[in-house]
Chain A
Amino acid sequence: MNLTQRRVPISIRRALRKVEPAFYIAPAFIVLAIILVYPLGYALWLSFHQWTLRTFKQGIPFIGFENYRDLFSNPDFINSIKVTFTFVILAISFEFILGMLLALLLNQELKGRGLFRSMILLPMMCTNVVIGLMWRLLLNYQYGLVNYYLGQLGFLPVEWLSSPKVAMASVVLVDVWNTTSFVALMLLAGLQSLPDEPYEAARIDGASSLQSFVYLTLPLLKPIILVALLWRFIDTFRIFDVIYLLTAGGPARVTETVSIYVYRYGFQSFNLGVAAASSFIMLLIMLAISGLLARAIRREE
């Protein structure tokens, strides 16, 4: 091996070293590209064409940006964007507040910590279909356990999934149940990698534990908070199955996120052009926000 290496001129060896990373990285990217190039290209093509169940046999006319233009004057689409952002912001806020508390708890010296963590991890690994149906059972107005035990405590039953005022809160509640543990365990990983020295210094200087949390822990955790935020953003923004099974976007569209809107147009009205255009708008919003988060992460490195 060393012999052959000596015979290769240095310039070629340098060039080889430069492309060496590609040898490792390229296969994954190539496979993804092969799989995705057609679907993405076809979706883009569709978004510039009129494709409806009634007319596609007569042809699929090119209509430029008309699908996109129509969407921005379509109140249902605007509504779905608002619903998505409301859901994303509410869900992520609660998940991070509760997740931080949970992480601080689990960071204490506890007997059986591993077992506790496994149990708390379960909701994030739970099958979405099961989550949706299970909570539909629990939150059932007449027969659900939640309303029954609320009643025992003297509360009136709540129309969790069928009242336009409450449905969004219920969907957020289920997502918080599902993924707070993800945020908590990620923050916990961060907490455990924190150095001890600044805390000792702060204690000697007489800082309270609240002060050292605000001025030391939060800034030190910032990189991991941003990564967790990126993951949660990607997942909440695309959410489909859980909401679909809980409320299917209802009542009165108060939980109709963009994904559900796309589903309604693509699979119920079979207007594939509009469905494709709305998913591209959704993708662009996601790329823009993820890009901002990624830049913030980069600054931390």
Chain B
Amino acid sequence: MNRGNLRWIKKVNQIIVYILVILAVFLSIAPMVYLAITSFKEPELTFAIPPVWKFTPTLQNYDEVLSSTDFGKYFMNSIVVALVTTGIALSLGTLAAYGFSRFRFRGHFWLRMSSLVPQMLPPIAIVVPLYVLFNKLDWIDTRQALIVSYLTFTIPLSTWMMIGFFDDVPVELEEAAMIDGCSRFGALVRVSLPLAIPGMAATAILAFLYCWNEFLYAVILTGREARTLPVIITSFMTNKSVLWGRIAASGTLVLIPVLIFALLAQRYLIRGLAKGAIKG
């Protein structure tokens, strides 16, 4: 085989790779793009066959979503619950992850693994007892009930991810700080934490999204007051009809932060999930 031939094969290869990647991207985003397009259609066009791709966009669905529900209030619920939960989970998870990353002790591995157990609890199994508990505390339909429930999966997640990021921060830097008179906690705060900030941001984003997307606890533990957006989306499905236009509009609104965060955190997210179990 001569050189020209080889180069040609390489080129064809490259083109195939691009075609496949673009196909994967298309399959990934097409359903969501379709949802967004549907949200700008008049409801009558939603089910038009053959599908209508050229139409005058309308904000009718968005108008109806905003006027038929207290969308602003529920949006705030979603934001506040997700932010507070993320803040608490990230603090506790970062501390625990630091402990796992910097110390070796007996039972280290299994303790780390057991931090995942709350993640394994089927939400459907503990939502009834949680309901009973919050009922006793008079917390049904409050934001704090959701925050407490969401901590059960965000703390394990943050711990797990932050272990990977702390493993990436060289111990030597902390040791140097400690020789210079810093306590270990001081070294954590002044040296390692600043270096782990990208990791913390990625962890925070993922924890936020888990809360933002949660449905089962929200639908059972809240009523009129503390409802979050995923519950609102399903409220457009009634026994009589399914209001697809409104579902598409509210669904699109809910996905906006998801889109922003995916663009922001892509580089760090996966490394964090992957590294929690494996020493760096």
Per the bound structure, the CA–CA distance linking A41 and B128 in Å amounts to 12
Are A105 and B21 interface neighbours, CB within 8 A? yes
User: How close is A200's CB to chain B, nearest CB, in angstroms?
Assistant: 19
CB contact under 8 A between A27 and B128, given known A42-B133, A116-B25: no
Contacts of A110 in B (CB 8 A): 17-18, 21
**B116 part of interface (Cβ distance < 8 Å):** yes
A205 within 8 A of B: no
Interface centre among B24, B117, B118, B237 (most CB of A within 10 A): B24
A119, A130, A258: which contacts B233 (Cβ < 8 A)? A130
> Is B6 an interface residue when CB atoms closer than 8 A count as contact?
no
Q: Is the CB of B255 within 8 A of A279?
A: no
A38 and B122 within 8 A (CB): no
Chain A residues positioned under 8 Å from B100 (CB to CB):
21, 25
Given A105-B21, A105-B24, A234-B120; A301-B255 close (CB under 8 Å): no
* Mask of B21-51 contacts with A, CB within 8 angstroms, 1/0: 1001101110110110010000000110111
Stretch at the interface among B54-62, B67-75, B89-97: B89-97
Query: CA A127 – CA B86 in complex, angstroms?
Result: 17
**Nearest opposing residue in chain B for A146, CB measure:** B31
Query: B125 and A280: CB pair below 8 A?
Result: yes
Contact between A105 and B212, CB atoms less than 8 A apart: no
Given known contacts A24-B99, A42-B129, A228-B274, is B28 in contact with A283 (CB within 8 Å)? Answer: no
Residues of chain A within 8 A (CB-CB) of B122 are 237-238, 240, 258-259, 262, 279, 282-283, 286
For residue A72, CB closer than 8 A to chain B, the reply is no
1/0 per residue, CB under 8 A from A, across B121-156: the answer is 111111011101100000000000000110110011
Judge whether B128 and A43 touch: CB under 8 Å.
Answer: yes
Say yes or no: A181 contacts B129, CB within 8 Å.
no
Give the residue of B115, B124, B155 whose beta carbon is less than 8 angstroms from that of A259: B124
Contacts of B181 in A (CB 8 A): 1-2
Do residues A143 and B31 form an inter-chain contact, with CB atoms below 8 A? no
Is residue A88 within 8 Å, beta carbon to beta carbon, of the partner chain? no
A36 and B118 in contact (CB under 8 A), knowing A279-B124, A280-B125? yes
A25-47 to B contact mask, C-beta < 8 Å, 1/0: 10111011001101111110010
Q: When the two chains form their complex, are residues B269 and A120 in contact, meaning their CB atoms are under 8 A apart? A: no
- The contact of A31 among B51, B155, B244, B273, by CB within 8 Å, is B155
Query: In the complex, which residues 96-147 of chain A have their Cβ closer than 8 Å to any Cβ of chain B?
Result: 102, 105-106, 108, 110, 114, 116-123, 125-130, 133-135, 137-138, 142-143, 145
Interface flag for A186 (CB, 8 Å): yes
Please tell me if A185 contacts chain B, counting CB pairs below 8 Å: yes
**A43-B129, A263-B124 given; 18 more Cβ-contact pairs under 8 Å:** A21-B102, A28-B92, A36-B152, A43-B125, A43-B126, A105-B20, A114-B267, A122-B28, A126-B213, A130-B254, A134-B35, A189-B270, A224-B274, A224-B278, A227-B274, A262-B125, A283-B120, A298-B109
The 9 closest A-B pairs by CB, nearest first: A24-B99, A279-B125, A39-B129, A21-B103, A28-B96, A25-B99, A42-B129, A185-B270, A143-B47
Q: 23 A-B contacts, Cβ less than 8 Å apart? A: A1-B181, A22-B99, A24-B96, A25-B96, A28-B96, A28-B115, A32-B152, A32-B155, A39-B126, A114-B266, A122-B32, A122-B259, A128-B213, A128-B230, A130-B230, A137-B38, A177-B28, A186-B274, A262-B122, A280-B125, A283-B122, A286-B120, A301-B278
Binding site for B on A (CB under 8 A): 1-2, 18, 20-25, 27-29, 31-32, 35-36, 38-43, 46, 102, 105-106, 108, 110, 114, 116-123, 125-130, 133-135, 137-138, 142-143, 145, 148, 177, 181-182, 185-186, 188-190, 223-224, 226-228, 230-231, 234, 237-238, 240-241, 245, 258-259, 262-263, 266-267, 272, 275-276, 279-280, 282-283, 286-287, 290, 294, 297-298, 300-301
Residues of B near any A CB (own CB < 8 A): 14, 17-18, 20-21, 24-25, 27-29, 31-32, 34-35, 38, 46-47, 49-51, 88, 92-93, 95-96, 98-100, 102-103, 105, 109-111, 113, 115-126, 128-130, 132-133, 148-149, 151-152, 155-156, 159, 181, 183-184, 209, 212-213, 215-216, 220, 230, 233-234, 237, 244, 247-248, 251, 254-255, 258-259, 261-263, 266-267, 269-271, 273-279
